[in-house]
Amino acid sequence: MTDTFDVRTDADPSDEETLVKPVVAVVGRPNVGKSSLVNRIIGRREAVVEDVPGVTRDRVAYDAAWQGREFTLVDTGGWETSVSGLAAMVARQAEYAAETADVILFVVDATVGITDTDEAVTRVLRATKRPVVLAANKVDGPMSDSDALELWNLGVGEPFAVSALHGRGTGDLLDALLEAMPGEAPRESLEEEGGPRRVALIGRPNVGKSSLLNRLAGEDRVVVDSVAGTTRDAVDELVELGGKTWKFIDTAGIRRRFRALQGADYYATMRTGTALERAEVAVVLLDVSEPLAEQDIRVVEQVVESGRALVLAFNKWDLLDEDRRYYLEKEIDRQLARVSWAPRVNISAATGRHVERLVPAIETGLAGWDTRISTGRLNTWVKELVAATPPPVRGGKQPKILFATQADSRPPHIVLFTTGFLEDNYRRFIERRLREDFGFEGTPVKVSMRIRE
Residues that bind ligand GDP (CB under 6 A): 203, 205-211, 254, 315-316, 318-319, 348-350
User: CB of 346: closest distance to ligand GDP in angstroms?
Assistant: 10
Nearest to 376 by CA among 50, 78, 66: 50
Measured from the CB atom, the residue of 211 and 306 that comes closer to ligand GDP is 211
What sign results for the dihedral spanned by CA atoms 126, 12, 186, 65? negative
For 145-198, give the DSSP string: HHHHHHHHTTSSSPEEE--TTT-TTHHHHHHHHHHHSPPPP-------TTSPEE
Least spacing, CB of residue 181 vs ligand GDP, in Å: 46
Residue 38 or 213: the one with the smaller Cβ distance to ligand GDP is 213
User: Rounded to the nearest whole angstrom, what is the least distance from the CB of residue 315 to ligand GDP in the complex?
Assistant: 5
Q: State how far Cα 384 lies from the chain centre.
A: 21
Q: Which is nearer to ligand GDP, 165 or 350 (CB)?
A: 350
Shortest distance, CB of residue 266 to ligand GDP, whole angstroms?
12
**Backbone φ, ψ for residue 63 (5° rounding):** -85, 135
Query: Quick check: bond before 53 cis, omega within 30?
Result: no
Residues marked as binding for GTP? Answer: 28-35, 75-79, 137-140, 203-210, 250-254, 315-318
CB of 306 to ligand GDP, least distance (A): 19
The helix/strand/coil state of 136 is: strand
Q: Residues 343-381, buried b or exposed e (16+ Cβ, 10 A)?
A: bbbbbbbeeeeebebbbebbbbbbebbebebebbebbeb
CB atoms within 10 A of CB 448: 19
Nearest distance, CB of residue 246 and ligand GDP, angstroms: 18
Nearer to ligand GDP, 271 or 452 (CB): 271
Give the integer Cα–Cα distance in Å for 107 and 34.
7
The partner residues of 312 in beta bridges, in order of sequence, read 284, 344
**Which phi and psi angles does 221 have, rounded to 5°?**
-60, 135
Q: Compute the least distance from the CB of residue 251 to ligand GDP, in Å.
A: 11
> Which positions make up the binding site?
28-35, 75-79, 137-140, 203-210, 250-254, 315-318
Based on CB atoms, which residue is closest to ligand GDP, 18 or 295? 295
Give the strand order in the sheet containing 401-408: 401-408, 413-418, 446-451
In this structure, the chain runs to a length of 453
Tell me whether residue 1 or residue 350 sits nearer to ligand GDP (CB atom): 350
Which lies closer to ligand GDP via its Cβ, residue 6 or residue 236? 236
